[in-house]
């Protein structure tokens, strides 16, 4: 599944294999490239050649942490996270704007989930 914001093209990684690969095979990263790793609290940057920016989200798609410069060969994460968005390194203002876009996207995802659950319960 792919999602799109004004700044990013996000590849959603829901299975083990796609989460394991993440951005590794996408190097060098384009400015719009990002992956959303579901069911993930911690990420590593082993094998990456450039720093990343990371956004950690809880189960309600609310941002619980972010990392502007995740350097290669390290582990980053937080226990509160349920998913992580990885992208090429951004400046603080760029990451602020992207976080706003992710918040809007998460509200849309939450609304669409309630819509589809309602249709399933109604038998439509």
For the chain, what is the domain count?
A: 1
Full domain range(s) for residue 85: 2-122
Helix (H, G, I), strand (E, B) or coil at 39: coil
Give residue-wise pLDDT tens across range 49-69. Answer: 889 999 999 988 899 999 999
| Phi and psi angles of residue 122, each rounded to the nearest 5 degrees, phi first | -80, -10
Q: What is the pTM of this model?
A: 0.81
Alpha carbons 79 and 40: distance in angstroms, whole number: 10
Give residue-wise pLDDT tens across range 66-91. Answer: 999 999 999 999 999 999 999 999 99
Mean pLDDT of 24-35: 75
Mean pLDDT of 15-38: 73
Alpha carbons 19 and 99: distance in angstroms, whole number: 21
CATH of the domain at 23: 2.60.120.1140
Alpha carbons 53 and 55: distance in angstroms, whole number: 7
Alpha carbons 99 and 13: distance in angstroms, whole number: 19
Q: What is the pLDDT of residue 49?
A: 84
Kindly report the average pLDDT of the chain as a whole number: 82
């Amino acid at each position: 599944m792919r999602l799109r914001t004004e700044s990013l093209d996000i590849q959603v990684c829901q299975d083990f294999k796609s989460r394991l690969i993440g951005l590794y095979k996408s190097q060098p990263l384009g400015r719009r490239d990002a992956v959303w790793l579901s069911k993930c609290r911690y990420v590593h940057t082993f094998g990456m050649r450039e720093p990343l920016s990371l956004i950690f989200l809880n189960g309600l798609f609310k941002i619980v942490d972010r990392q502007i410069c995740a350097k290669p060969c390290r582990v980053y994460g937080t226990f509160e996270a349920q998913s992580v968005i990885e992208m090429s390194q951004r400046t603080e203002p760029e990451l602020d704007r992207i976080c706003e876009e992710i918040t809007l996207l998460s509200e849309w995802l939450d609304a669409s989930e309630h819509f589809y659950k309602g249709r399933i319960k109604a038998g439509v």
